[in-house]
């Protein structure tokens, strides 16, 4: 076998090794995206359970517990779905790897056979005397030159064959290692999914037991929901009146009809409103930690599908003592202090209003200029349910907006 110089091999082997390391430890973009999503959902479940556990279970209402179970079940189903997608993607990648390995093995076998034949042929004519005789037997100088070139090309071809065999061997080893890792990852995902499904089934049974307890006195619970909705509607109407009065005042001041359905804005307010609009989908959360427990719009009650829950904004479950943050710069337009202590802060941003309900402590006063993420208060913890929930609403020209369209990653 003709020796291969280390200096000639070094660049090739370095490139091959780097390629194999990349294959062995990198994931496809889709796999990485799914893994990040899966880890985010797992953190979401853990943090949500941590927030819920801050209040004693025996002190929380059955409805609150049922809402928590519904939420966790929904998130856990998302986790199972994402994990299944990962496992399916891994299956496809494993199959592709196995096909590549099979082709690579066939190629390696063929290369080795060709190389073995060359070694045998080279051995039979390896003596320098044979090479010299081969050259001297030429009929003319041109033929001798061609024979010399042939000997050189044959030697180079041997070198390349040897290098390719080494490269394909390293590549095959890397693919085999990657295949083993993929199979281990798939087994881990399947095992984790099995655990998630068991927990989901456990939560389903808890939901059934809770519903059985609630149905024994369903009318009482339905009545409680209706009373609570009436209280919410009453405060929301007061908020709407404040905003419509502000709209009418802006138009009167500008010499327009107070019946106008939009705000009459000063140049400064128009600039602020344009900036607010430009940040649609990028606004920060009104609390640093939290999850949306009730979304925007009309929804069915978890205990009776015939009962509707109206939500002008979102209800965010958060930690006890969590600080409320302004989602954008603006001016504190007004502060509501109802008898039940669920204080409300309204911040104006041109023709936009952001409303923060269910605040225990207020750090600002009417007329204050505030900045994005400035703390404006502390979220109230409900004594009856032991839940800490911020109610957050966005208004534009007297109409509510879906906060999920405005707040970053609230969908």
Same domain? For 240 and 386 the reply is: yes
Percentage with pLDDT > 70 across the chain: 77
Q: How many Cβ atoms from other residues are within 10 Å of residue 21's Cβ? A: 11
Task: Identify whether the C-beta of residue 207 lies closer than 8 Å to the C-beta of residue 70.
Answer: yes
Q: End-to-end distance of the chain based on CA atoms, in angstroms?
A: 66
Q: Tell me, what's the pLDDT at 399?
A: 94
347 domain residue, yes or no: yes
Residue ending a domain, choose from 173, 194, 215: 215
33 has pLDDT over 70: yes
pLDDT at 12: 41
Q: Is the predicted pLDDT of residue 93 greater than 70, yes or no?
A: yes
- How large is the greatest C-alpha to C-alpha distance in the chain, in angstroms? 117
Rounded to an integer, what distance in angstroms lies between the CA atom of residue 68 and that of residue 9?
A: 63
DSSP character for 295? -
Percentage of residues of the chain with pLDDT beyond 90:
34
Q: Which domain holds residue 261?
A: 218-405
Residue 21 located in a structural domain: yes
Residues in the chain: 411
Q: Are 128 and 92 in contact (CB under 8 A)?
A: no
Same domain for 147 and 247, yes or no, is no
Can you tell me whether residue 238 is helix, strand or coil?
helix
Sign of torsion over alpha carbons 315, 318, 323, 326: negative
Residue 410 located in a structural domain: no
pLDDT given for residue 354 in this prediction: 98
| 197 & 239 share domain | no
Confidence of residue 107 (pLDDT cuts 50, 70, 90): confident
Q: Indicate whether 58 pLDDT > 50.
A: no
Region of 60 (left: φ > 0; alpha: ψ -120 to 50; beta: rest) is beta
Same domain, 190 and 335: no
Q: Identify the top-confidence range among 38-52, 193-207, 352-366.
A: 352-366
**Model confidence at 57: pLDDT above 70:** no
Chain segment 272-301, per-residue pLDDT in tens: 999 999 999 999 999 999 989 889 999 887
Asked if the model's pLDDT at residue 1 lies above 60, the reply is no
Q: Are residues 238 and 210 in the same domain?
A: no
Q: What is the pLDDT of residues 126-150, one digit of tens each?
A: 544 455 555 556 667 676 666 556 6
Residue 49 token pair: 């359970």
Please provide the DSSP assignment of 83-99 as one string. Answer: HHHHHHHHHHHHHHHHH
Q: How many domains does the chain have?
A: 2
Q: How many CB atoms lie within 10 A of CB 144?
A: 15
* pLDDT on residue 25: 43
* Angstrom distances, CA of residue 248 to CA of 332, 353, 385: 18, 15, 39
Whether residue 144 is found in the same domain as residue 233 = no
Same domain (yes/no): 241, 276: yes
Mean confidence (pLDDT) of the chain: 81
Between CA 238 and CA 297 the distance in angstroms is: 19
CATH number at residue 352: 2.70.70.10
Given 186, 215, 244, which residue is the final one in a domain? 215
In a domain, 1, yes or no: no
Instruction: Please check whether residue 411 lies inside any domain of the structure.
Output: no
Strand partners, 300: 308
pLDDT band at 99 (very low <50, low <70, confident <90, very high): confident
pLDDT for 184: 84
173 torsion bin: left (phi>0), alpha (psi -120 to 50), beta (else): alpha
Q: Which neighbouring-strand residues pair with 388? A: 381
Own/partner pairs, 151-157, CB within 8 angstroms, 24+ separation: 154/118, 154/122, 155/2, 157/118
Contact 287, 323 (CB under 8 A): yes
47 vs 68, 257, 382, CA distance in Å?
Answer: 13, 50, 19
Strands 297-300 and 343-349: unpaired
Give the C-alpha separation, 230 to 128, whole Å.
Answer: 105
Lowest mean pLDDT among 9-13, 55-59, 304-308, 332-336: 9-13
Same domain, 146 and 222: no
Q: Do 232 and 190 share a structural domain? A: no
183 and 245 inside one domain: no
More confident of the two residues 118 and 400: 400
Domain end position, chosen among 180, 215, 250: 215
Residue of 8, 393, 269 lying closest to 163 (CA atoms): 8
Verify that 174 and 273 share a domain, yes or no.
no
Do 190 and 223 lie in one domain? The reply is: no
Q: What is the mean pLDDT of residues 252-277?
A: 93
């Amino acid at each position: 076998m003709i020796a291969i110089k280390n200096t000639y091999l070094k660049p090739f082997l370095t490139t091959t090794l780097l390629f194999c390391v990349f294959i062995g430890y990198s994931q496809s973009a889709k796999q990485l995206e799914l893994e990040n999503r899966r880890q985010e959902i797992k953190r979401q479940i853990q943090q949500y359970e941590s927030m819920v556990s801050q209040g004693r279970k025996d002190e929380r209402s059955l409805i609150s517990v049922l809402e928590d179970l519904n939420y966790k079940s929904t998130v856990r189903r998302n986790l199972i779905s994402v994990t299944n997608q990962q496992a399916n993607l891994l299956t496809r990648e494993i199959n592709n790897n196995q096909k590549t390995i099979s082709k690579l093995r066939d190629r390696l076998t063929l290369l080795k056979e060709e190389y073995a034949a060359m070694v045998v042929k080279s051995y039979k004519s390896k003596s320098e005397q044979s090479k010299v005789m081969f050259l001297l037997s030429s009929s003319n100088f041109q033929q001798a030159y061609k024979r010399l070139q042939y000997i050189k090309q044959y030697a180079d071809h041997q070198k390349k064959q040897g290098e390719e065999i080494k490269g394909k061997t390293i590549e095959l080893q890397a693919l085999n290692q990657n295949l083993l890792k993929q199979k281990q990852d798939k087994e881990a995902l399947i095992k984790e999914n099995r655990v998630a499904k068991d927990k989901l089934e456990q939560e389903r049974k808890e939901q059934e037991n809770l519903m059985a307890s609630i149905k024994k006195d369903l009318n009482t619970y339905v009545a409680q929901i209706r009373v609570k909705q009436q209280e919410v509607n009453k405060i929301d109407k007061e908020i709407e009146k404040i905003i419509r009065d502000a709209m009418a005042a802006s138009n009167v001041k500008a010499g327009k009809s107070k019946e106008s359905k939009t705000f009459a804005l000063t140049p400064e307010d128009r600039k602020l409103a344009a900036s607010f609009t430009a940040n649609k989908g990028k606004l920060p959360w009104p609390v640093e930690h939290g999850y949306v427990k009730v979304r925007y719009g009309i929804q069915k009650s978890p205990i009776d599908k015939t009962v509707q829950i109206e939500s002008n904004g979102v209800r965010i479950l958060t930690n006890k003592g969590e600080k409320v943050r302004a989602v954008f710069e603006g001016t504190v337009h007004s502060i509501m202090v109802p008898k039940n202590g669920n204080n409300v802060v309204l911040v104006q941003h041109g023709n936009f209003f952001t409303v923060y309900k269910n605040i225990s402590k207020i750090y600002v006063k009417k007329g204050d200029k505030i900045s994005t993420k400035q703390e404006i208060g502390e979220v109230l913890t409900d004594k009856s349910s032991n839940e800490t929930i911020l109610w957050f609403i966005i208004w534009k020209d007297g109409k509510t907006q879906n906060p999920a369209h405005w707040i970053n990653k609230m969908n």
